[in-house]
C-alpha cells in the first residue's frame, strides 16, 4: 500500500481531524504545512535545513521546472527527489495556477493553454496530458490535475466556464495517468474550482469526486478575496469532499487561514509566505509578525521568538539577524526562512496534538489572540 490516508482522531467540536498520509517516500502527519520549493529548492535552504525546521513534505512547481531546467533534465537525474536531494514526500502542482498568474500572452482553448514563458518569452503549451507527463517525469509522490483557476472576483459565467473546463480536463488527466502513470508511485489529486459561488463549488465537488481519487484539493481560494469570503466558501466546500481522503487547500499559509481551514476539515496546506516574508525580513512569532529591520532590534539580544525551538532561535539574536539583514547578507534569508517554516510546522504540531486531546478550539482561539493581538 504505497498510498494511504487514515484519520487518527476527529475533533469533537469542529470538523478538524488529525490523520496520517502515507506516500512511497514516507508518512506525513496531518494537518500538514508544506513549504514551497518552486524551482526544486526551498529558497535559501538546504534540504537538511528544511527537514531540521520540521517539514516533512515539500511542494515544487511544475510550471517553473517545465520551463527551466525542463522535465528531461530532472528526469535524467532520476526525478525530482534525486535532483534536489530530498528523499521525503514531494508534491508537484500542475502548472495550472502559474499559467494563469505568471505567463504572458495566455490563450486558453479546450486543448490546453498556450502562453509565453515569463523567462525567455518562448511560446509554450501545457495541456492536461503534458502537465501529467511532466509530473510523471518529475516523479513527485503526489501530483495535481491541470485546472483552470478563475481569479477573484470573476463573473459567474467565467467561473462556471472555468470549472466546467477543469472538470473536462480532470477526466483527461485521469486518463493520462491511467495510461502512462504508475499509481503505486504517484497519487493524482483532483482540484475543485467554482470561484466564490456556492452552487458552482458544489457542482465542481460533485464532478471531481465522480473520479475515485486518492485526494482532492480546493483551488481558486486565497486568490485575492477577503478572508470572510474564503471562510464562507470553506464552510460549504470542505464538507463536499470525501471524509476519508486528504483535503488540500492550495496556496494558504497564514496562521489564521490555516487555523480556520483546519477547523473546517482541511488536512494539507502550502504557501510561499514563510520563505517570501523571511526574505523581506518578516519573522512569524508567537506574539505576531515582526520585521527584523526595525531599529528597536539593534541591541536586542533575545531570540526572534522566545517560544521557538528552531536553529535560528537557539543560536542567534535579533541584533545579529537585524545586522545581517541591514548588511544585505544572504544568511539572513536562510535563518529567517528556517525560523518561519519552523513556526508553521510547530503550529501544525500543536494543532495535531490539540485535535488528539480535544483542546483544538481553545488552541485556535489562543493562537489567534496572541498572534494577531487586538486585530482579531
**Least distance to its own copies, CB of residue 86, Å:** 10
Site size toward its own copies, by CB under 8 A: 37
CA 271 from centroid of its chain's CA atoms: 5
Instruction: Specify the stretch interacting with its own copies by CB under 8 A; choose among 70-78, 122-130, 169-177, 262-270.
Output: 70-78
Answer whether the bond into residue 255 is a cis peptide, omega within 30°.
no
**Least distance to its own copies, CB of residue 353, Å:** 30
Q: Tell me the catalytic residues.
A: 93, 270
**Least distance to its own copies, CB of residue 112, Å:** 24
Instruction: Specify the stretch interacting with its own copies by CB under 8 A; choose among 18-26, 229-237, 281-289, 315-323.
Output: 315-323
Distance CA 231, CA 234 (A): 5
**Least distance to its own copies, CB of residue 311, Å:** 8
Q: Is the dihedral of CA 285, 92, 168, 241 positive or negative?
A: negative
Per rule CB under 8 A, is residue 117 in the interface with its own copies?
no
Complex with its own copies: residue 259 or 313, whichever CB lies closer: 313
Q: Return the CA Rg of the chain.
A: 20
| DSSP code at position 313 | H
**Least distance to its own copies, CB of residue 93, Å:** 17
Per rule CB under 8 A, is residue 63 in the interface with its own copies?
no
**Alpha helices (H) in 181-251, listed in sequence order:** 198-209, 227-237
Q: What is the DSSP string of 155-179?
A: -HHHHHHHHHHHHHHHHHHHHHHHH
CB 30 within 8 A of CB 18: yes
Q: Which of residues 254-313 bind its own copies (CB under 8 A)?
A: 298-299, 301, 311
Instruction: Specify the stretch interacting with its own copies by CB under 8 A; choose among 106-114, 239-247, 329-337, 368-376.
Output: 329-337
Complex with its own copies: residue 76 or 288, whichever CB lies closer: 76
Which residue among 13, 306, 330, 365 contacts its own copies (CB under 8 A)?
330
* Cell of residue 238, nine digits: 470542505
- Phi, psi dihedral angles at 203 (to 5 degrees): -60, -45
**Least distance to its own copies, CB of residue 28, Å:** 23
Per rule CB under 8 A, is residue 73 in the interface with its own copies?
yes
Instruction: Specify the stretch interacting with its own copies by CB under 8 A; choose among 82-90, 281-289, 343-351, 352-360.
Output: 82-90
Q: Which residue has the cell 512511497?
A: 24
Q: Which of residues 7-46 bind its own copies (CB under 8 A)?
A: 39-41, 43-46
Instruction: Specify the stretch interacting with its own copies by CB under 8 A; choose among 65-73, 162-170, 201-209, 286-294.
Output: 65-73
Which residue among 296, 327, 357, 375 contacts its own copies (CB under 8 A)?
327
- Phi, psi dihedral angles at 281 (to 5 degrees): 90, 5
Cα dihedral 243, 248, 254, 255 in deg (nearest 10): 30
CB 324 within 8 A of CB 339: no
| DSSP code at position 8 | E
Q: Which residue has the cell 517570501?
A: 276
Contacting positions for its own copies (CB under 8 A): 39-41, 43-46, 64, 68-69, 72-73, 76-77, 83-85, 298-299, 301, 311, 315-317, 319-320, 322-324, 326-327, 329-331, 333-335
Amino acid at each position: 500500500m504505497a498510498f494511504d490516508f487514515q484519520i487518527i482522531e476527529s475533533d469533537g467540536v469542529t470538523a478538524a481531524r488529525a490523520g496520517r498520509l502515507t506516500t512511497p517516500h514516507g508518512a506525513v502527519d496531518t494537518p500538514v504545512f508544506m513549504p514551497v520549493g518552486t524551482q526544486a529548492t526551498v529558497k535559501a535552504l538546504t534540504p537538511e535545513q528544511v527537514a531540521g525546521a520540521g517539514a516533512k513534505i515539500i511542494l515544487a512547481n511544475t510550471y517553473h521546472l517545465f520551463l527551466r531546467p525542463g522535465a528531461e533534465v530532472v528526469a535524467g537525474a532520476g526525478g525530482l527527489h534525486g535532483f534536489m536531494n530530498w528523499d521525503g514526500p514531494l508534491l508537484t502542482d500542475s502548472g495550472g495556477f502559474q499559467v494563469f498568474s505568471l505567463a504572458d500572452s495566455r490563450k486558453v482553448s479546450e486543448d490546453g493553454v498556450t502562453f509565453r514563458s515569463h523567462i525567455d518569452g518562448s511560446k509554450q503549451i501545457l495541456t492536461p496530458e503534458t502537465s501529467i507527463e511532466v509530473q510523471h517525469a518529475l516523479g513527485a509522490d503526489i501530483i495535481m490535475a491541470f485546472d483552470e483557476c478563475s481569479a477573484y472576483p470573476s463573473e459567474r459565467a467565467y467561473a462556471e466556464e472555468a470549472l466546467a473546463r477543469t472538470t473536462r480536463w480532470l477526466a483527461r488527466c485521469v486518463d493520462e495517468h491511467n495510461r502512462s502513470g504508475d499509481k503505486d508511485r504517484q497519487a493524482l489529486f483532483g482540484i475543485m474550482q467554482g470561484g466564490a459561488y456556492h452552487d458552482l463549488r458544489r457542482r465542481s465537488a460533485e464532478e471531481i469526486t465522480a473520479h475515485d481519487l486518492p485526494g482532492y484539493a480546493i483551488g481558486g481560494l486565497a486568490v485575492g478575496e477577503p478572508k470572510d469570503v474564503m471562510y464562507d466558501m470553506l464552510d460549504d466546500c470542505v464538507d463536499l469532499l470525501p471524509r476519508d481522503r486528504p483535503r488540500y487547500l492550495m496556496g494558504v499559509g497564514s496562521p489564521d487561514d490555516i487555523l480556520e481551514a483546519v477547523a473546517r476539515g482541511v488536512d494539507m496546506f502550502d504557501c510561499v509566505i514563510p520563505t517570501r516574508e523571511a526574505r523581506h525580513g518578516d519573522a512569524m512569532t508567537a506574539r505576531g509578525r515582526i520585521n527584523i529591520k526595525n531599529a528597536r532590534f539593534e541591541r536586542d539580544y533575545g531570540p526572534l521568538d522566545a517560544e521557538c525551538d528552531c536553529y535560528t532561535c537557539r543560536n542567534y539574536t535579533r541584533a545579529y539577524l537585524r545586522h545581517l539583514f541591514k548588511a544585505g547578507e544572504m544568511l539572513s534569508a536562510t535563518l529567517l526562512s528556517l525560523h518561519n517554516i519552523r513556526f508553521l510546522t510547530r503550529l501544525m504540531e500543536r494543532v495535531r496534538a490539540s485535535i488528539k486531546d480535544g483542546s483544538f478550539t481553545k488552541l485556535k482561539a489562543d493562537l489567534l489572540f496572541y498572534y494577531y493581538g487586538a486585530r482579531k
